[in-house]
Amino acid sequence: MTEPKASTTKEPGDFAAFLASTRPKTNRELSEELKKLVGAVKDTGKGGSITLTIQIKPVDGSTTVVGVHDAIKVNRPEHTRLGSLAYPDADNNLSRTDPNSMPLFEDENDIRDAPVADPQTGEIKEAPPA
């Protein structure tokens, strides 16, 4: 009587164990990035993702040894940047005041009383005298 051949097929190994043993630095980096991602999701109230790409290639055409390479891509959610309102004039310049409306006060257009603002941020640097 002939003995049946033993199967050469093995159960696949555990992926987390493979990652921890073969790419331990990647495993640690993924753990750190996951923690940062969860913090960003909690902070912004928006979703994010982590993508791990593992590339396996034969080394120098060998069939007995392979190279394992990875890439991690993290898509962290960001806070929504708030916009501001501006009014275009006849020359397409933007202003924070409506050029078509009448001033509330007679001296509203007097530049001497206007606050000094940072042109980059719009932050008021110096308030007009009271």
User: Do residues 58 and 22 share a domain?
Assistant: yes
User: Do residues 44 and 65 share a domain?
Assistant: yes
pLDDT in tens, 55-76: 999 999 888 999 999 999 999 9
User: Do residues 101 and 71 share a domain?
Assistant: no
At 23, list the tokens: 């790419």
User: Do residues 64 and 98 share a domain?
Assistant: no
Q: How high is the pLDDT of residue 98?
A: 86
Question: How large a percentage of the chain has pLDDT more than 70?
Answer: 78
At residue 34 the predicted structure's pLDDT band, cuts being 50, 70 and 90, is very high
Residue whose tokens read 């190994």: 13
Residue 52 sits in which domain range? 15-75
Residue whose tokens read 């501006």: 86
Q: Which pTM does this prediction carry?
A: 0.56
Residue 59 lies in a domain: yes
Residue 29 lies in a domain: yes
Residue 4 lies in a domain: no
Residue whose tokens read 């980096």: 29
- The two counts, helices (H) then strands (E), for the chain are 2, 6
pLDDT in tens, 102-125: 776 666 555 555 667 777 777 777
If you average pLDDT over every residue of the chain, what do you get? 84
Has residue 11 got a pLDDT over 90? Answer: no
**Nearest-CA neighbor of 30 among 1, 53, 13?**
53
Residue 35 lies in a domain: yes
Residue 81 lies in a domain: no
Has residue 50 got a pLDDT over 90? Answer: yes
Q: How high is the pLDDT of residue 74?
A: 97
User: Do residues 26 and 63 share a domain?
Assistant: yes
User: Do residues 95 and 67 share a domain?
Assistant: no
User: Do residues 69 and 21 share a domain?
Assistant: yes
Residue 7 lies in a domain: no
